[in-house]
Chains A and B, each alone.
Chain A
Amino acid sequence: MAGDDAILETEGLTKDFRGFLAVKNVNLRVRAGTIHALIGPNGAGKTTCFNLLTKFLQPTSGRIRFKGRDITHLRPAQVAKLGIVRSFQISAVFSHLTALENVRVALQRRRGESFDFWRSEKVLRAYDGRARELLAAVGIEAMADVPAVELPYGQKRALELATTIALEPEVMLLDEPTSGLGREDVGRIAALIKEVAKGRTVLMVEHNLAVVADLSDTITVLARGEVLAEGDYARISTDPRVREAYIGSEEG
């Protein structure tokens, strides 16, 4: 079952919230270098899957493997250090730090642990150049010195992406990166994801099916915690079970 091109893989992944199975026996294979979309109606268990993969939640049963290595028992920060970095469904920026500082917090990880409370933060200026490059890459270099809390929502999501990329992750897990955005911003963020996905692996939860169709190599459909279907867009979009699951729960 384990193909050598799978970078992130789960086997029988299950999460039981006191009797409620939010994720049921999910076998997921994310191939290296691809964009893999996880879709499904609200409450299907997509975010829970992300929480399990990044160890923000401990699975009730099942295994998680990264490049063949079992990471089921690691702590979330350790998973991140291995190169699996997630974003959050609701934009997660450091509100009262400037955009530049937000990105720098990620870049600072290269120093290893930063317990040096006696040293001036001037040493962090070494990262300013790279931080500005990353802000420019997502189109918000003009906002470098603005506290994140003052950025419009679309720019917050862009900042989040810049912060994630700053870690040069091998695998990025993006939870609804375009949710809450206007149409123009959706296009911009989608293009950005496409750009930064080069040379990386992306697993993303996305509701906007146009974005999913445009970006993803593989799509996994989750419903009530279980994998309902898997394949490319053409195959998924014509699958009657998928249509039924979507219509059965909410919109289309």
Chain B
Amino acid sequence: MAARSEPAPIAVAVPSDVLRHQKLGIVLLAALLLVAPFVFYPVFVMKVLCFALFACAFNLLIGYVGLLSFGHAAFFGTASYAAGHAAKVWGLPFELAVPFATLCSAGLGLVFGWLAIRRQGIYFAMITLALAQMLYFFYLQAPFTGGEDGIQAIPRGKLFGILDLSNDLVIYWVVAAIFMGGFLLIYRTIHSPFGQVLKAIRENEARAISLGYDTDRYKLVAFTLSAALSGLAGGTKAIVFQLASLTDVHWTMSGEVVLMALVGGLGTVFGPVLGAAVIVSLQNYLAGLGHWVTIVQGLIFVACVLAFRRGIVGELAHLLKKPL
């Protein structure tokens, strides 16, 4: 009973010298990024990295502020279209298209966040879902998205006019750098004075207010940051795969990012990365099975909720009694 009533499988805060496990993990992750393109297909690894960044951005909200957004596809997809349009129609290079896309998602995050942040729990999730669905139908009709076809054959172009991104290995290093940058920014946010207030809000919002924190503003900043980083992931994905489509803004995308974070471990630093790797691998290797992929994903979801509430990394952290 006591174990079940625990609110969420969240990482326990500890003095900062214990964080060396996380720092070691970051070094390992960086090393993994260096060898990965020589072991796996670079395109596959890039897909994992884009979704991993997306899942980390989502996890910043659910894991460290306690806000469950069920509309994060809106930010991923908006950036995907924005980057695609900027690169293909306006002919902007990668280094402008992706930041532009990120900014679009940040702006959208500010608006959605402002509308949703006053609600709690399931109402927050429902409002984010409703807003994302409205946006989906807008994109379905809007001329610049290409409707069912999406924006295809987005040019990868050259980075700073020099690096030829049509080479998979070259663009891999760019994507790896973007992922690492985003990941480190999230890591820093979690371990910043701001992050400390976020965790306090997650633990007990009323108490945080009674100490004088205007919690709505903190939640809005976190929401916008999460939307921006989801956008960074979505914009990068569109250019790497040269495709922006309705899949990116569909509610199932919002569901997938929940699943990734959940499988890896909500409120853990590395969980969403592992979760994204697991789900993307499943989708790739089970692609031949068609609809079975969805069923397998559903089963994983049920298993996580029933038996593995901490997720893979969360369980590991629990065993080691160290935050990961």
Contact = CB atoms under 8 A, between A and B. Distances in A.
Interface of A: 54, 56, 75-77, 80-81, 85-88, 92-98, 100-101, 104-106, 108-109, 111, 113-124, 145, 147, 163, 167
* Most chain B beta-carbon contacts within 10 A, residue among A81, A117, A121: A117
B16 A98 contact: no
B139 to A, nearest CB: 30
B243 to A, nearest CB: 32
A80 B13 contact: no
Contacts of B10: 96
28 contacts: A77-B213, A77-B214, A80-B209, A85-B210, A88-B206, A92-B204, A92-B206, A93-B207, A94-B204, A96-B12, A96-B13, A96-B199, A98-B14, A100-B15, A101-B196, A105-B196, A115-B217, A115-B218, A116-B192, A117-B194, A119-B188, A120-B188, A120-B191, A120-B192, A121-B196, A124-B193, A124-B196, A147-B12
Given A98-B14, A117-B221, A56 B206 contact: yes
B200 interface: yes
A167 B211 contact: yes
A96 B64 CA distance: 11
B192 A121 contact: yes
Nearest to A106: B211
Contacts of B14: 98, 145, 147
A113 B214 CA distance: 9
A98 B14 CA distance: 7
Contacts of B221: 115, 117
A105 B213 CA distance: 10
Interface residues of B, number: 35
B15 A109 contact: no
B26 to A, nearest CB: 14
Contacts of A114: 192-194, 196-197
B168 interface: no
Interface of B: 10-16, 185, 188-189, 191-197, 199-200, 203-204, 206-215, 217-218, 221, 225
B210 A76 contact: yes
A109 B200 CA distance: 12
A147 B18 CA distance: 14
Contacts of B209: 56, 76-77, 80
Contacts of A88: 206-207, 210
A109 B209 CA distance: 11
Nearest to B197: A114
A127 B58 CA distance: 31
A124 B16 CA distance: 11
B212 A81 contact: yes
A111 to B, nearest CB: 7
Contacts of B203: 93-97
B195 A121 contact: yes
Contacts of B185: 118
Given A119-B192, A120-B191, A94 B199 contact: yes
A235 B260 CA distance: 65
Given A96-B13, A98-B14, A115-B218, A80 B210 contact: yes
A203 to B, nearest CB: 14
B211 A80 contact: yes
B117 to A, nearest CB: 14
A121 B213 CA distance: 17
8 A-B pairs with the lowest CB-CB distances in the bound complex, closest first: A80-B212, A94-B203, A92-B207, A114-B193, A117-B194, A117-B189, A77-B214, A81-B212
Given A86-B210, A96-B199, A97-B13, 6 more contacts: A77-B209, A115-B217, A116-B192, A117-B189, A121-B193, A167-B211
B192 A101 contact: no
A92 B16 CA distance: 24
Nearest to A100: B15
A80 B210 CA distance: 6
Contacts of A76: 209-210
A96 B11 contact: yes
B225 A117 contact: yes
Contacts of B207: 88, 92-94
Nearest to A124: B193
Nearest to B267: A96
Nearest to B10: A96
B200 A105 contact: yes
Contacts of B191: 120-121
A135 to B, nearest CB: 14
Nearest to B186: A117
Nearest to A75: B214
A197 B284 CA distance: 65
Contacts of A111: 193
A104 B229 CA distance: 29
Contacts of B189: 117-118
A114 B15 CA distance: 20
A93 B193 contact: no
Nearest to B212: A80
A80 B213 CA distance: 8
A108 B14 CA distance: 17
Contacts of A98: 13-15
A12 B231 CA distance: 52
